Structures are given as C-alpha cells and as structure tokens.
Chain A
C-alpha cells in the first residue's frame, strides 16, 4: 500500500552523538566535567595518571549528546568531544 505521507514514527530522527577524547596526562582531577555533564556521561576513574590525579572515564558513551560543556569547562584542555561518525 502506498502512503501519501509518511506517518510519524516511521523513522526515528537521528540524534547527534559525541565521542569523548580524554588526554589523561593533562588532567588535574578537578571533576568539573563529571559534575557538569548534563547526561552524567563521565565518572571518576579508579586509575591515576602520571601526576597522581584521577582522570574521568566515559561511563555512558551512548548518552553523550555532543553539547561540548565538558570541553569548555575543563581548565586543563584535557577533554574534548568530536561528533561520532555513524
């Protein structure tokens, strides 16, 4: 049967997803990114980096919406987000 219009919900709209890159050795463990991520994507890792700080790890990678707040609020230029290729 041919549809004149496509009904709503036929195709799920694509949402942007982000891929997080963490530069471990620059991190100073301030936890700003973990606290201010709106989707709680990051959490503190149990490992530590060369300087003895606990950098973040990506706990929920599929929840990242590429808002970029972690990249902007990080004081150490240690985290950035790129758009995830499908």
Chain B
C-alpha cells in the first residue's frame, strides 16, 4: 500500500493540492506548517498523504517554529517544506536568514494574499515579491519561482526542490491565492519521468571534512546528522570549519559567496517564457496569474496594429538583468502589469536602457487587472509617451 501511494495520471486538481503533490513527487518527506488562508490546503493535503508515504507531518505552533523545524529536518537529510502566506512569511524571515546562512536546502511556499498585515485573507495579490528577495536582514541570494496555473504549480514545486538541493538554500515559490485556489487539469507524470536532483553528500572522511569548504561552484558538500561527521554549524559568521569567526576577513569570504552562489548560476536558474519577442515594439513583462489575465489586452493591442511581445518570468529572483538590458535596446519600452503598487517594475526600470519607457500597471490586489488599463499602458509605451 505504501509503495503504491505515488499518484500519477491526469487530474482535475486545485493549485494548492498540485503543489503538495509536486513536493511529494520530488521526494519531500517532511512538512512543518501552520494553517493560513490560502495555503492551508497544502498542509491538509500533506497531512493526508505523508503518512501513506512514511513521511512526517507536524502542525507546529506558529510559522516561526515551522521554518526552524524544516531546517532541522533538512539537516537530518530529509527534503522538507513549509507553506504559508504573507503574514506567516513575515514571521519566517528570521529563520529564512538562518537557512541562508547555514545553507540548508528546503522549500518555502508563499501563496500571496492581499496585504499589508491581515489584508485580504481570501483574496490575492502579488505584493510580497520584493520581500522574497530582501525579506530577511543581511545580504544573501534568493531564488523565487512564480507559477501561473495549477499544472505549473506542480512543475515548479519539483523545480524548486531541485534548485534548493543543488544550490543549498531555501527556495521560495511565490504563488498567489488565485493560482492556489484555482482548479484545473493537472497531469502528474510517473515519478521516473521527472528530473529529481538530490543534494551532494561529501565523500570525505570525518577527519578531513570541512562543512563549508567549497569548489569553483561555491557550493559546499553536505553531511547530515548521524553520519559521524560531528560538524558544527551556526548562524554566526563562520569559517570553513563552521566555527564562529567574527572578523572582517571571514565575513568578506562568506557573505559574498552566499550572494555569488546564485548570481554566478543565473543562466541555470532563470526560467522564462517568451512569445513574439523578435521585432516587438512593446514587451509586456508579467508573472503569476497576471500573465494570464493580460492576454486579452495583448490580443486587442495586436488587432490595433501594435507589435507586442510577451515575456513571462517563471523565475523572478534572481532577476534576469542581462536579458532585460539586451531587450531594452531593441524595443520602445516595457509594460509591467503586476498586482502590487510597483515591485518588479522597479527592477525592470533599473535594468532597462535609459531611453526605454517602463510603464507599470499597478493593482493593489483583490481583483484582476482590467484589460483596458493594460491596453492603455501598452498603447502609451508604443506611442512613446
């Protein structure tokens, strides 16, 4: 019975449930969470499915404990995950910093809802995008993936686990409540057809092993608790032995590595979807559910004769700076519809050429963009205003 509990087939499935199934398909066997609308369904599905797969489900007393718990499980060698929304994500940020500093692989799903504070619990927004990059204090690299459909929620959860195992850090999936609660067709392939990456365990002996020694890829080898390595790891600035070393030299070696670990591998991590980029005058950059709601506006703009390209960011962080820079030299400008009052549009503005126009189509959340607003923005960019 336990072996047969791996689902595969075509299902009519809610986004949150697809996320949970994606995690299980990737090999996640520990979930520590706390209920919050709209991410509770992920916890509920995990509570139901993990015992069947001989995993561990624990509903912690708060989100702070959830984040600490999944880091602990990660150090025991188990793939772990938590799911929350805006208020919980704010609480988790201190321990996200710990995960970044200790370099523990895990996945944090933030099904974004209207903010700030308690905001719109049952309605969506995309206003945590900057928090995914800069939420915790200090400098670190961040990987954030944004799905736009339940099928993609499944796929990107598997990808998120792969990135977290490969690059040894907590990876964020920044979904929104609309994608989380939408029910659509989801195709779950057999596990053999998925690409699953596992963390690289060290093959050195315990006497020779240094927990934070790294090669050219800037990623140290992992050793889990109970294998006899008896290492020390800490949230303090540490040297290669894992011991605290509070000097400038140590900080200078450690923190730039945490940032460069992601920056150097941006080609591997950055996933985008493009249509009609060649010869376009205006490119619409969008992510998440907005990338689907802008399609009628793009169709209308094309009927009016404007050459519109479509760039969807599946990986929002690390932001594809080079790509935007190169594109900005060829186009009149970008229209950036997003469900916040200007977050990723700031990144686009930063990277775009001086002469190109970046027009934000803001939305505070709670509903979807009116297609007239997006159309209007596309026209303004095309006509050079």
A/B: CB atoms within 8 Å of each other: no
